[in-house]
Amino acid sequence: MVDDNDDDAELFRSAVGPVRRIQAPAPPPTAPRPRPRAGMAERDDAAAREAFRHALDASLLEAGDALVYRSERLSPRAWQRLRRGEIAAQDELDLHGAGVREGEALLRAFIHDAHHRGLGCVRVIHGKGLHAGECVASSGVPVLKNLVDRLLRQRADVVAFHSAPASQGGTGAVLVLLAPPKRR
């Protein structure tokens, strides 16, 4: 018995002639690699936030206490000028009415932005915590004031800070000296 399929296949091959295999099409392009992130900086920032949340201890500031911090990088002359309020604030952030999480996010963004804009001195108004419900802990301590103190101490771009003179807000505001931005 003769198979018609064999005859058809033979007839087709003789009609087409010799064939060569074609190359497989190139695979579609892959998605571009993501831009590199500053992973260490992100982890350091997360670790600092976590340390801040767990660092509440007996050294909490009261409403009338001054915020004071000075890095070794700051000269005694510049420190005196900051304490006297002789350095003009180039920008200001008012945290009145902000909750703790919102205040923390606003302060981080404000300091980061001010540092990258090359500002030398900024003022942060945190209030004294005398008339606020959410801004005062059950122990009577001003929450935003302590938040500002602890957060500013952890930042590498903060050289020094001191409570503002009475004419600029007294112990309800703080003048912050920022390090100059690094040249790229």
What is the rounded CA–CA span in Å between residue 179 and residue 121? 9
Judge whether 53 lies within some domain: no
Judge whether 35 lies within some domain: no
Coil, strand or helix at 57? coil
Judge whether 24 lies within some domain: no
C-beta of residue 126 within 8 angstroms of C-beta of residue 172? yes
pLDDT tens string 19-28: 888 888 888 8
Judge whether 116 lies within some domain: yes
Judge whether 153 lies within some domain: yes
Q: Give the per-residue pLDDT at 143.
A: 83
CB proximity list for 121: less than 8 A, separation 6 or greater: 82, 87, 88, 89, 90, 175, 176, 177, 178
- What spatial distance separates the first Cα and last Cα of the chain, rounded to whole Å? 85
C-beta of residue 151 within 8 angstroms of C-beta of residue 104? yes
Coil, strand or helix at 45? helix
CATH of residue 138: 3.30.1370.110
Q: Give the per-residue pLDDT at 67.
A: 83
Judge whether 155 lies within some domain: yes
Q: Give the per-residue pLDDT at 134.
A: 45
User: What letter would DSSP give residue 136?
Assistant: B
Residue type, 66: A
Judge whether 140 lies within some domain: yes
Coil, strand or helix at 115? helix
Give the pair of three-digit tokens for residue 78.
């510049």
The number of domains in the chain is 1
pTM confidence score: 0.64
Q: Give the per-residue pLDDT at 42.
A: 83
pLDDT tens string 9-47: 888 888 888 888 888 888 888 888 888 888 888 888 888
The residue ranges of the chain whose pLDDT is under 50 are: 58, 134
Per the structure, the complete domain to which residue 161 belongs is given by: 62-178
Judge whether 167 lies within some domain: yes
